[in-house]
Structure 1
């Protein structure tokens, strides 16, 4: 009876919420049995109160003879015995200390570890404190699969701390945006119009390709992807491909950079004088038809014009009446103007002019109006008076 009273007296020296030092007596079945120093009261330290890792081995954390600082959680009385023990926690004591360290650190960037994908966001851990990153604050773009951050360490900015409510909110997006802004300023400081730079194709759209220049995305418009016309971006480049591009324009205020891929590759008109010359007869394919003629591709990327007057010796009202897109034709080169990127072609120059029949020629000659015969003009000097002269005297040399 006296021993039990002594035990109760010693127990009264230990209260939930106390921070005490305990010595590990034994380790077994994922729990450590400890004795609280200065009291003789025993306690239980489970694996759950050592770490959040459910698959961990308790022997990696404590062993018999170790001294640990723990937080007293609650009293436990044995059902079949009169023993009194306490449930203690090392993990929660570390969390309390971490909370104390967090107070006043809003706005600071810290390194956290993703622990679990939860509804509405991601659960993380920082120095023993569980925090939360809402889905809208994980990245600059909405992240549907937050599982990829579980087990990963990354930086996040502390947004809100409330120890009384166990509220610890962070934002990874803020860190990403600040890093992107710093990178953007650095990239713009180095970019110059006309320079050739390397970049990685980030994404493709119907109107072109966005290229990551190391923090700034520049646009290669579809017209600047290739010297060929009407190409699809995905037929020229692919996402992840590293390419060299020429800087065409920079608008730092709007964050825009215009780029050209085709400007870094030889154009079809380079050295065209060695490939084409006036008088050459070559094969081509009709690419476009207009009211004034047909454009025929004679070399890759080079279309020449067959003017409507050069299609046939016969009168052509509309090129579509005699030619079609995709048709193969033989043409004669009339002129090559590399400076203006123009080639003049002719189809009728390779065709024999239709012969005109003699009857048609006679009809044309007969149909011409006859010019009136030119009459001889004579000058006659009349006498001052007509007295003494007859008409015969005046016109005597004319035979009637």
Structure 2
């Protein structure tokens, strides 16, 4: 009996321990299953993570997003403020959005997320790639400050210094401010010249972007161009030695001597910036990336038509272009100039052409020689003044008769001066050496010759 009681009493003593062990084993097994189950593989969040989540609830003040964490993440309204009204209205449950982890867990155990910072972070990474690749991007001007323009690049604010914008002129601050205000809302091609994510610094340049783009276009254009072809272009700048013309993304130089068949002292006489012109491709230097152009060669060579258009004895109108000791040059049309020898300026003996004519003066002239092969033409003023009024009117028009009378009046003055000079006593001439000095000074080339002669006789 005692044995039976002992045996009966022994079973209850060990049963609870066995049950407890079994339950503990089951708990451990369930925990292992939960940990090993991929459906419960919760994401470990860290500040700065950029991850994709699914919208679970949309509210005016916040969004709830499933990001695979143990609880849903929350996006406060301040963290999606960069969304437009249209973008906000389009948000709906089930949509996938890119978010930035602002706080891994708040007091309620939720992750605090941001759409704005996610977009910005994504933009920074993209901008870094663009900077390293040296690519050109486009951005809209949103505002400006004293130093330059502000642009928006998908949530990242960039700065374009005023010196790096082609359409901002120099001058006082007011003109710069007006130029910058005018550019708000416009899009610019830009190149990143400095990027620093940690300092939130992004500096861009329009000038570099344009220059690099033009360099690429110039290389392509140089490969396509052939000498002797004619292209349409636009004058981009004017210098003392010529003009630069854009012929499709690249500038070529039209030298001063290639602007016109006529004598041109400065390109501004015949061209202005922005004007469209036809140009002839003179030469291409692929190594130095230079293009030589000509405007005058797109037009007929004037001397090729001289023999058909002019003849000896013909009366013409001319404009004095240059004076020399031996005579004056006169232009009778673009590209055609003739020489009025000093002996053909007046019936009187003169020391220098400036005694009779001046640069820019209009004259009636008679052609006395034509040599198309050597591109030379001889002209005479004194022989033209011998023509009758009827001949002048028939050849040059009635208005030329008045010009003839003006020139004849000047000839009469020269004759009177010559007569007065000849009537002066020799003694008076000798006592006025200053007159002789003045006469010799009128010719810049005759005076040195006289000095040379004196040195030779002295030696």
Give TM class, smaller chain.
0.5 to 0.7
Which of 303, 309, 324 lines up with 1:275 in the alignment?
Answer: 309
| Partner of residue 62, structure 1 | 91
Pairwise CA distance, 1:146: 6.0
| Partner of residue 91, structure 1 | 116
The structure carrying a bigger strand percent of its residues is: 1
| Partner of residue 337, structure 2 | 303
| Partner of residue 226, structure 1 | 260
- Is the deviation greater in 325-334 or in 215-224? 325-334
| Partner of residue 64, structure 2 | 34
Pairwise CA distance, 1:52: 2.4
Contact (CA 8 Å) 1:159, 1:171: kept in 2 or not? no
- Is the deviation greater in 232-241 or in 304-313? 232-241
Q: Does 1:344 align with 2:373?
A: no
Q: Do the aligned partners of residues 196 and 334 (structure 1) sit closer, same or farther apart at CA in structure 2, a change above 3 Å counting?
A: same
- Is the deviation greater in 190-199 or in 206-215? 190-199
| Partner of residue 404, structure 2 | none
**1:189-228 alignment, distance < 5 Å:** 189-228=223-262
Deviations 1:86-114 (CA, angstroms, capped at 9, x unpaired): 75422223444555677777512374534
Deviations 1:259-302 (CA, angstroms, capped at 9, x unpaired): 22112112432311122212334454544433212334444543
Pairwise CA distance, 1:343: 1.1
Write the distance in 2 (CA, Å) between the matches of 1:299 and 1:273: 14
Pairwise CA distance, 1:238: 3.8
- SS of 2:237's equivalent in the other structure is strand
| Partner of residue 76, structure 2 | 45
Write the distance in 2 (CA, Å) between the matches of 1:165 and 1:287: 65
- SS of 1:239's equivalent in the other structure is coil
Which of 142, 146, 152 lines up with 2:187 in the alignment?
Answer: 152
**1:70-219 alignment, distance < 5 Å:** 70-71=99-100, 73=102, 88-96=113-121, 107-108=132-133, 109=135, 111=137, 113-114=139-140, 116-117=142-143, 120=147, 123-124=150-151, 128=154, 130=156, 132-135=158-161, 148=183, 152=187, 154=189, 156=191, 160=195, 162=197, 164-166=198-200, 175-219=209-253
TM-score by structure 2 length? 0.56
Contact (CA 8 Å) 2:253, 2:293: kept in 1 or not? yes
Unaligned runs of 5+ in 1: 1-12, 78-82, 353-400
Contact (CA 8 Å) 1:137, 1:174: kept in 2 or not? no
Q: Do the aligned partners of residues 247 and 111 (structure 1) sit closer, same or farther apart at CA in structure 2, a change above 3 Å counting?
A: closer
Write the distance in 1 (CA, Å) between the matches of 2:271 and 2:311: 34
**1:313-328 alignment, distance < 5 Å:** 313-325=347-359
Write the distance in 2 (CA, Å) between the matches of 1:296 and 1:101: 67
- Is the deviation greater in 13-22 or in 213-222? 13-22
Q: Does 1:258 align with 2:284?
A: no
State the number of aligned residues.
Answer: 329
Q: Do the aligned partners of residues 105 and 137 (structure 1) sit closer, same or farther apart at CA in structure 2, a change above 3 Å counting?
A: farther
The structure carrying a bigger helix percent of its residues is: 2
Contact (CA 8 Å) 2:194, 2:204: kept in 1 or not? yes
Contact (CA 8 Å) 1:27, 1:59: kept in 2 or not? no
Write the distance in 2 (CA, Å) between the matches of 1:333 and 1:200: 39
Unaligned runs of 5+ in 2: 1-42, 170-175, 388-459
Write the distance in 2 (CA, Å) between the matches of 1:328 and 1:96: 74
Write the distance in 2 (CA, Å) between the matches of 1:154 and 1:182: 15
Deviations 1:337-377 (CA, angstroms, capped at 9, x unpaired): 1122211123444659xxxxxxxxxxxxxxxxxxxxxxxxx
Write the distance in 1 (CA, Å) between the matches of 2:304 and 2:52: 85
